[in-house]
Structure formats: C-alpha cells, structure tokens
C-alpha cells in the first residue's frame, strides 16, 4: 500500500517536472495565443498597449482630474497616469491569465477526449502570453517615463525579481481556475466579480495614502499590494525593492503555485468524464 501511495504521489508531480522538456510545445502554444488575439485586426499587437492606455486615460480623468488623487508629492496628472499604468500592468496580466484559464480546458475538449496531451501546458501558455503582453506594456511605460521625466531608473534591473514570483503566482491560480472551470461552469462569472473586488482592494487606481487607517490592515494583507508597490519603487521611484513585502508576495506565489498545480493534477483524470 505504501509503495502504491508513493507511486501515486510521484505520478501527480511527474508532469510538473517534465514541463521544461515541453518548452517547444509551450512556446508554440504561447505564440499561437498571442497571434490569435490580434489576428485579423488592423492594429495587431498595438492593442496590447492601446487597451491599457485608454483605461489609464479614463481613470486619470476621473481620479486625478475630478477627485484630485495624486501619487507621492507630485501634483502632476501625468505622474498619476504613470503610477496607474505601472500598477495596472502586472494586475492585468494576472487577471487575464486567470479569466482565460477558467475556460481553456472546456475550450480544448478535443484534446481532453481524443489524444494524450499534456493539459497542464495550456494554462502555462496563457500565463506566458499575458506576461509577454505585460512586457510590451512595460516598454511603453519606460518610454513614457523617459519622455515625461527625462530619465530611466537604474533600479529597473530588479524587474526579473518581481516578474518571476508573479509568474509563479499566476500559474498556480491559472491551474486552479482551469480545473474549476471544468466542474463549475459558473466560475467564469464568479471569478470576474472576485477579480473586480480584488483589484479595488489593491492600491492601483488610488494611492495607499488615501486608504483610511482602519482599512490599512486589509489592504496590506493583500499580497498584490506588495507587488504593485515594488513595481512602482523600481520603475518610477528609483528605490530598492521592499524585500519584506516581496518575501510576503513570494510566499503567496509559492503557495499558489503548489496548491494550484496539485489541484489540477489530482482532478485532471475526471476532465474527460465531465466534458
């Protein structure tokens, strides 16, 4: 019994260890995902930058123009737009991956039923495509910062220190949603509401200084608060990362990655029966 239990546990984790060997497949799926999003459109990949720019313009008009919200000591609406863009980029990548992953297994039902296919690669490709879009947006952010401020912060070299744990957190959430999307079809609507609430609990469109003291504990408990804060520190403020906050987010990312993959691996054998 003990041997069979150990064998079962190894079988659950084996596809995870094999992911590096499937790099070519994952890369192909990621390229296909990126191409599919802009196929047939006139502007193509420009939409990856244009969409958040329009969102930033709306939020800037409402919060910076009407409510006079400001980040830091600056009174500039342009600075507000930069800080907003910086916070939206990682959040949009996470949100996009989670939402698309909730339907990816059902959307690839032919792969579930007819062939032996490494299904765990589907959420991975979605997550990588979202991070790729984030990087396109980050280039636009850096160009805007140079244009408006005339400088590029040297602390940008810490960007991989933030992107890597973000990717691990996203993968875990994507695997979890991919599995739940098979068994609970209402998860698509439910996760949209959850993500909307989560975004507003993260100081993305408003500065942390505006949060009332009685709510600061809730906001700081949110792991994405630490991530967004660190993106702004290294890209716009020229400060070293907040290592304590980054460690907190890293712990969240590790738990998300392990639990998300474990749940996906344990439930995948039932996908074909449900679909």
Q: How far apart are CA 105 and CA 102, in angstroms?
A: 8
Burial of 5 (0-12, 13-18, 19+ CB in 10 A): exposed
pLDDT at 209: 83
First-to-last alpha carbon distance for the chain, in angstroms, is 32
pLDDT at 267: 93
pLDDT at 120: 94
3-state secondary structure of 184: coil
pLDDT at 3: 47
3-state secondary structure of 211: coil
Q: How far is CA 134 from the centre of its chain?
A: 9
Using an 8 Å Cβ cutoff, are 35 and 48 in contact?
Answer: no
Give the C-alpha distances (Å, rounded to integers) separating 119 from 183, 237, 274. Answer: 16, 41, 15
Could you give the dihedral angle defined by the CA atoms of residues 180, 181, 187 and 192, in that order, rounded to the nearest 10 degrees?
A: 110
Q: How far apart are CA 223 and CA 49, in angstroms?
A: 25
Q: How far apart are CA 237 and CA 34, in angstroms?
A: 31
Domain-wise residue ranges, the chain:
45-274
pLDDT at 111: 85
- Of the candidates 79, 75, 178, which has an alpha carbon nearest to the alpha carbon of residue 124? 178
Using an 8 Å Cβ cutoff, are 94 and 173 in contact?
Answer: yes
What's the sign of the alpha-carbon dihedral 244, 250, 256, 258? Answer: negative
- Of the candidates 184, 193, 167, which has an alpha carbon nearest to the alpha carbon of residue 102? 184
Q: How far apart are CA 85 and CA 79, in angstroms?
A: 10
pLDDT per residue as tens, the chain (275 positions): 444 555 656 778 888 998 999 999 999 999 888 888 766 666 666 676 677 677 777 877 877 777 676 776 666 777 888 888 899 999 999 999 999 999 999 988 888 876 678 999 999 999 999 999 899 889 888 988 898 888 889 999 999 999 999 999 999 999 999 999 999 888 889 999 999 999 999 999 888 888 888 989 999 999 999 999 999 999 999 999 999 999 999 999 999 999 999 999 999 988 988 87
- Longest pairwise C-alpha distance within the chain: 68
């Amino acid at each position: 019994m003990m041997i069979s239990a150990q064998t079962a546990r190894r079988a659950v984790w084996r596809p995870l260890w094999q992911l590096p060997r499937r790099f070519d497949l994952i890369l192909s799926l990621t390229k296909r995902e990126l191409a599919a999003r802009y196929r047939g459109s006139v502007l193509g990949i420009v939409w990856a930058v244009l969409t958040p720019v329009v969102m930033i313009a709306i939020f800037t008009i409402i919060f910076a123009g009407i409510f006079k919200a400001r980040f830091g000591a600056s009174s500039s609406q342009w600075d507000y737009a930069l800080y907003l863009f910086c916070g939206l980029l990682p959040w949009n990548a996470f949100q996009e991956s989670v939402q698309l992953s909730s339907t990816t297994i059902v959307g690839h039902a032919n792969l579930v039923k007819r062939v032996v296919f490494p299904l765990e690669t589907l959420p991975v490709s979605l997550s990588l495509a979202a991070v790729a879009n984030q990087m396109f947006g980050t280039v636009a952010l850096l160009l805007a910062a140079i244009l408006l401020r005339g400088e590029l912060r040297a602390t940008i070299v810490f960007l991989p220190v933030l992107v890597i744990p973000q990717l691990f957190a996203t993968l875990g959430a994507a695997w979890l949603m991919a599995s739940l999307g098979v068994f609970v079809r209402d998860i698509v609507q439910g996760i949209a509401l959850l993500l909307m609430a989560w975004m507003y609990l993260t100081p993305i469109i408003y500065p942390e200084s505006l949060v009332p003291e009685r709510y600061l504990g809730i906001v700081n408990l949110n792991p994405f608060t630490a991530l967004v804060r660190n993106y702004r520190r290294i890209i716009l403020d020229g400060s070293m990362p907040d290592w304590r906050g980054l460690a907190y987010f890293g712990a969240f990312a590790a738990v998300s990655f392990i639990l998300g993959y474990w749940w996906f691996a344990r439930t995948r054998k039932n996908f074909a029966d449900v679909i």
